[in-house]
Amino acid sequence: MNHLDFHKIIIEKKASGTYYFYGYEGLLIDNAINRILKTYVNEITEYLNYFVLDGKISTTQDVTNAVETVPFMSDYKLIVVTDTGMFFQKNDLSDSFIDGLLSVPDNAILIFNDMDNGIKKTTKFYKSLNKANRAVEFTKLSPRDLNVFVNREFSSKKKKISPSDLSYFVNNTGYNSRNLEVNLYQVVNEVSKISAVAKGEIITRNDIDAMLIEELDTNIFDFLDGLMRKNLQTSISNFNSLYQLNEPMQRILFMIVRQFRLLLGYKTYITKGYSDVEIMKKIGIKQYEFKKIVNSQRNFTDCEIIDIMGYLNNAEKKMKSTSIDERLVLEELIVKICNKK
């Protein structure tokens, strides 16, 4: 069963008996358990009707005893077995115990929380619960659902964000990248960080950029230095290092786009007669980075920059496709930039 289908069961108050929770998104598992607790268990008597059994030390008898205990001043009780993989390793589960999981009283909700995915799908436990539609998988969110989730997180922190900036933020988390294992806990952490430093109620593109730049290390700046010198060998070598370090491809593209926007801004303002100090303030960068922009402007004509901005736009469109190899897109982009004459 998909976690979205199980969410409907919770809302309709049709949950009862045994469930096996597993999958990639531990945050969604935690949220589902909390939602069940708030929906089914009386808050006043929660301490009497909510049991958490540590799978590393609990026995099958502990589970049986918890299930057989009658709810106290509540229609339901909730039992959660954590570290399910360890529970199965430690206990020799009999067929009668597994069969009994399918006949748990309706006033009890028993959840085996396998956040670490320690149970194989070949076991009788999994097969039995899956056949009974009681194995709930918490998969990664779709791009659409992720946007809804992130928007809700910003709202919970009294922040607003436009649809375009929301997509921009999500892309730069790397969550949708096939090369990275980014989970919702990490995404929520990014939301918290940017919400903490943003000055206004509305999260802007500048807020997002500032956070991304602050998190970057010297590796990506070395890569950009080589790229702005049109040194293909150095650029590809540094790019491969970033790939091995699991740097999100979207974040690398963001930095390339930013670099050429700054370069285009510098050339535009210098043509209009602005001084270096004035330009530095207008494009919003510090002296160290400004010097690099000034040095790199000699390597690109105005026409080349315009062409490269077109390459970058095409690369952004390609990387939004789920069927494209993000690494290949960036490698082709690097070659085009370095070979631009």
Dump the DSSP string for 262-300: HHHHHHHHHHTT--HHHHHHHHT--HHHHHHHHHHGGG-
- The answer on 159 and 279 residing in a single domain is yes
- The answer on 170 and 154 residing in a single domain is yes
- pLDDT for 108: 93
- pLDDT for 127: 93
Q: Which of 94, 122, 137 is the last residue of a domain?
A: 137
Q: Which of 137, 169, 202 is the last residue of a domain?
A: 137
Tens digits of residue pLDDT in 146-182: 999 999 999 999 999 999 999 989 988 878 876 567 8
Tens digits of residue pLDDT in 81-114: 999 999 988 888 888 999 999 999 999 999 999 9
Torsion of CA 22, 25, 27, 30, to 10 degrees: -10
- The answer on 298 and 195 residing in a single domain is yes
Q: What is the domain-level CATH number for residue 282? A: 1.20.272.10
Which domain, by its residues, includes 233? Answer: 144-338
Overall pTM surpassing 0.85 (yes/no): no
- The answer on 187 and 123 residing in a single domain is no
Structurally, the chain folds into a number of domains equal to 2
- The answer on 148 and 46 residing in a single domain is no
- The answer on 171 and 112 residing in a single domain is no
Let me know the angle formed at the C-alpha of 181 by 175 and 185, rounded to the nearest 5 degrees.
Answer: 65
CB pairs under 8 A, 24+ apart, for 220-227?
220/247, 220/251, 220/252, 220/255, 223/252, 224/255, 224/256, 224/259, 225/292, 227/256, 227/259, 227/334, 227/337, 227/338
Q: What is the domain-level CATH number for residue 91? A: 3.40.50.300
Which regions in the chain score pLDDT beneath 50? none
Q: Which of 79, 108, 137 is the last residue of a domain?
A: 137
